[in-house]
Structure 1
């Protein structure tokens, strides 16, 4: 499915209750699981054994989960909850009414040294026809396969001509996003400012930040 080799197919339904049973019954996250998700399927298991590639140093498996939605919207908090529960890297394929959207998080081992992971950033594609959704995994190791999937899904956000590592690309993109938020906040502030001298000061700050963003 999704163009992955038949050797990776798993196609096992996972009860969505598995991910929220221990959450307090009054939790808004639990309501989101119930109200937004129809079914969850574990579609593929990408691993050294199923792909006949070298094992990764950081990535041992990539689980491909299809999340069938009741409407074309899913709160990101749901993906974070699932990522917390599963100690492997995950490729999420959201489907609804014949359309699909792919999400993947940059997932790292937690500093505690346990099996826990943390997701610092999510990237996703636009909605597309399910028939258009085809992946190729031509890389020779699990680490390389994961990096290629993240870069494919992120698109221009992680594009680099310098051969930088995936982690460096992620950090650069996070910095760019922080700067863009600062710029948006200053633009709102300037629109509300009445004093000319303050507007000039704010505009000077904006010019500096916009100049920095060009380097990203």
Structure 2
């Protein structure tokens, strides 16, 4: 249920700073195409919450000292992912984006986020984006999950967006690797099935069937 992605952010973490579009352009050094998206697709933006040890009582983790929540009011339902990528890449901490469709404060909401890493040289990189569907903004929000560290809290915030159940004690990064491996095997399996259908030689078809069965067993282990 994508509704599980809507969390009730603690009032103690409320930041609620409006982000003028000129500030966003400077922050993310936007390219012309992305700048047009900011003009055409976004109505307003605000830095809504800062989840830190001070504001949540949750200790910093080995990777994460703060989690930011940014709200984007959209003019429609188009998700400006290139703009989100540019903003995310300019912010040192992981970001949860809440996108609101249309001009109603209680309209539909889409939640989007990604893992984030910092290299030894200080370069920021984020993983693939995970998103909810559009959720009725009037729904009751879930309490913030209980977590021992902000690393664990970030995993719990992203978990409803993954589209699959995480295994016990599996990190979001590990779940992403499993999903990528599963997608790659799905492509291999589809290719083998096509080859089997078009293969006229019985011996070769039997070889393909054995290979297909092996790949299907590998795929089953990734569920």
What TM-score, normalized by structure 1, do the two folds share?
0.81
> Map of 1:6-25 to 2, 5 A cutoff?
6-21=11-26, 22-25=29-32
Distance 1:133 1:80, change over 3 A: farther
Distance 1:188 1:44, change over 3 A: farther
Determine the C-alpha separation between the residues in 1 that align with 2:30 and 2:58.
38
CA contact (8 A) 1:55 1:141 kept: yes
Which residue in 2 is equivalent to 1:37? 42
Compute the displacement of 1:40 (Å): 1.1
CA contact (8 A) 1:19 1:81 kept: no
Structure of higher RCO (CA pairs closer than 8 Å, 6+ residues apart): 2
Which of 82, 97, 108 in structure 2 is aligned with 1:99?
A: 108
Determine the C-alpha separation between the residues in 1 that align with 2:22 and 2:53.
30
Compute the displacement of 1:173 (Å): 1.7
Compute the displacement of 1:150 (Å): 1.5
Compute the displacement of 1:66 (Å): 0.8
Which of 145, 167, 173 in structure 2 is aligned with 1:167?
A: 173
Determine the C-alpha separation between the residues in 2 that align with 1:146 and 1:123.
13
Compute the displacement of 1:129 (Å): 0.6
Determine the C-alpha separation between the residues in 1 that align with 2:193 and 2:24.
40
Q: Which runs of 5+ in 2 are unaligned?
A: 1-5
Compute the displacement of 1:8 (Å): 0.7
Compute the displacement of 1:171 (Å): 1.4
Distance 1:133 1:89, change over 3 A: farther
Which residue in 1 is equivalent to 2:87? 82
Range moving further from structure 2, 116-125 or 174-183: 174-183
> Map of 1:50-199 to 2, 5 A cutoff?
50-97=55-102, 98-109=107-118, 111-114=119-122, 116-132=123-139, 134-137=141-144, 138-156=146-164, 158-161=165-168, 163-183=169-189, 186=191, 196-197=200-201
Compute the displacement of 1:183 (Å): 4.3
Compute the displacement of 1:59 (Å): 0.7
CA contact (8 A) 2:16 2:46 kept: yes
Determine the C-alpha separation between the residues in 1 that align with 2:131 and 2:16.
22
For the residue of structure 2 that corresponds to 1:176, the secondary structure is helix
For the residue of structure 2 that corresponds to 1:196, the secondary structure is coil
Determine the C-alpha separation between the residues in 2 that align with 1:78 and 1:11.
20
